[in-house]
Amino acid sequence: MSVTLPESVDAWRMVSARRSFTGTLPVAAMSRLCGMLAGNEGAAQYALDFGRDEFGTAYLQLHVEAPLTLTCQRTLEPFVLPLEVDGRLGLIRSEREEAALPPGCEPLLVDEDGKLNLADVIEDELLLALPLVPVNPDSSLPPEVTDAGSPEPASERTDNPFAVLRELKHND
């Protein structure tokens, strides 16, 4: 086990050695992720394990937990979403190898030189796990939104824009 995350590793050597890395990565160090967040506080806890499965497929097992500050799209207030990512990434050299990956194994294309930036892999997985529309589960719409402006029932409406069309239809 290693606590420090190297800037880049040789993926194939890590698989052969069955290397593992655990530690923390500051959210502020992930610039692409920070662009999607309301704040860059906190750190991601990660555990990365390289290996081969029973079919000989090289993989990177990934577990990441990160408290991310998002903007609630219901209230427009910041809130902390505890995000957890678990996955197995099948290491492939070309897109043709993707079809041979076992079910439940996502492809991770590795450059020809075998170099892999582990911080980028962690950031990519967190970006993919972000909700499309973040909503704080503890929030609710304010009463002025839910009570005021409710449409009146159709039976009470006096001006129906389709009334003219109805009369034309009945006249034919």
pLDDT of 157 > 90? The answer is: no
pLDDT of 135 > 80? The answer is: yes
Quick one: pLDDT at residue 138? Answer: 85
Q: Which of 17, 137, 118 is nearest to 74 (CA)?
A: 137
Query: With bands split at pLDDT 50, 70 and 90, how would you rate the model's confidence at 170?
Result: confident
pLDDT of 63 > 90? The answer is: yes
Q: Which residue has the higher pLDDT, 45 or 104?
A: 45
CA dihedral 16, 108, 123, 15 (to 10 degrees): 0
Query: With bands split at pLDDT 50, 70 and 90, how would you rate the model's confidence at 80?
Result: very high
Q: Which of 93, 69, 98 is nearest to 83 (CA)?
A: 69
pLDDT of 10 > 90? The answer is: yes
Query: With bands split at pLDDT 50, 70 and 90, how would you rate the model's confidence at 159?
Result: confident
Average of per-residue pLDDT values in the chain: 88
pTM equals 0.79
Q: How far apart are CA 118 and CA 162, in angstroms?
A: 61
Q: Which of 125, 122, 57, 124 is nearest to 91 (CA)?
A: 57
pLDDT, mean of residues 142-160: 61
Q: Is 28 within 8 Å of 34 (Cβ atoms)?
A: yes
